[in-house]
Amino acid sequence: MKVAILESLSISKEELNKRKAPFEKKGVEFVEFEKSMDKDMLIDEAKDAEAVIIANMPFKDEVIEGLDHLKFIDVAFTGVDHVGLKAAKEKGISVSNASGYSNEAVSELVFGMVISIARNIRQTEERCREGKTVGIIGHGRIGKRTAELFHAFDAELLIYDPVEQMDRPEYIEQTSVEDLLGRSDIVVLHCPLIDSTKGLIDAKKLSLMKKTAILINVARGPVVNAKDLADALNNEVIAGAGIDVFDCEPPLPEDEPLLHCKNILLTPHIAFASEQSMSLRAEIVFDNLAAWMEGRQQNVIL
């Protein structure tokens, strides 16, 4: 069996070799490549592989359609909107993600952004204790962890999630998007990119927010209309924003609206990237591979 690792997992060579070793003892052959955006190169690199490991590089339908031996896509990422799920489903290819690896890292960056935007750590901490209202859109694993951290600061917590959260703690109120936006001092986006969330935060939604509010997006770029957000910041519709994700992966084009507005903190999609989360991600990815080989696929997307 051949497994193609098509981009770096951001762990040391020593750790990678350690994680590959149990599989190699069973006769699994690993081949490793640098990240590529070229369709023909990707098809050539993975042409004989039964499984591929990728992180956040695009792995679209046209690539998957050209891989006749592929049976499993092991995604070292939580989101899978960069993977050609249509082609994978049509070809009966299994897909797993690395759900859970970055819960702590992403939630920590949310706090770092909020503190940085407010510019003064001590005063920000005091304001949180004075009872800021925090609205979290998307109450999955990462959203829940962010809520726990804000609760430690005695913040009032609102969530919006299309699924009724029956097990939510008593300190969290589930409400509508509109109510959450209107009441929150800090709005944090943790939702996946699907049809119903694309462009969710637009000019109309931004107009519902407090003029003193901060928006944090660590979900997916297209959840927010970038031009509308830039206009809202420049026109003081809201007070500030922290953005880690964009319509495309950094480096950003010069005409990216969010590069040319005020009161914004930009980071190049690094919320997930702590040393601890990278190691945990690799552990989950190789556990996914082992589970799939044993016929008990986990972290199932397809």
DSSP assignment of the chain: -EEEE-S--SS-HHHHHHHHHHHHHTT-EEEE------HHHHHHHTTT-SEEEESSS-B-HHHHHT-SS--EEEESSS--TTB-HHHHHHTT-EEE--TTTTHHHHHHHHHHHHHHHH--HHHHHHHHHTT-EEEEE--SHHHHHHHHHHHHTT-EEEEE-SS--TT--TTEEE--HHHHHHH-SEEEE-----TTTTT-B-HHHHTTS-TT-EEEE-S-GGGB-HHHHHHHHHTTSSSEEEE---SSPSSPPTT-GGGG-SSEEE--S-TT--HHHHHHHHHHHHHHHHHHHTT---SB--
Residues assigned a catalytic role: 220, 249, 269
